Amino acid sequence: MIGIIPAIDIIGGRCVRLSKGDYNNCRTYDASPLEMAKRYEDCGIRRIHVVDLDGAKASSPANLKTLEEIASSTSLDIEWGGGIKSLEALRSVLDAGAGHVIVGSTAAKEPGLFAMWLEEFGGERLILGADVRNGKVAVNGWLQEMELGVEDLMEKFVPKGLKEVICTDISRDGMLQGPAFSLYTGLQGKYGEVDVILSGGIAGMEDIVKAEALGIRKAIVGKAIYEGKITLEEIRLWLQRG
152 is known as an active-site residue:
no
The enclosing H or E element of 39 equals: helix 33-42
Catalytic residue, chosen from 9, 169, 173, 207, is: 9
- How many helices (H) and strands (E) are present in the chain, helices listed first? 11, 12
- Residue 77 annotated among the catalytic residues of the structure: no
- Residue 226 host element (H or E): helix 223-226
Options 54, 131, 169, 195, the catalytic residue: 131
What is the spatial distance between Cα 168 and Cα 38, in angstroms, rounded to a whole number?
A: 25
CA distance 16 to 30: 9
How big is the chain, counted in residues? 242
Distance of CA 53 to the CA centre of its chain: 12
Active site residues: 9, 131
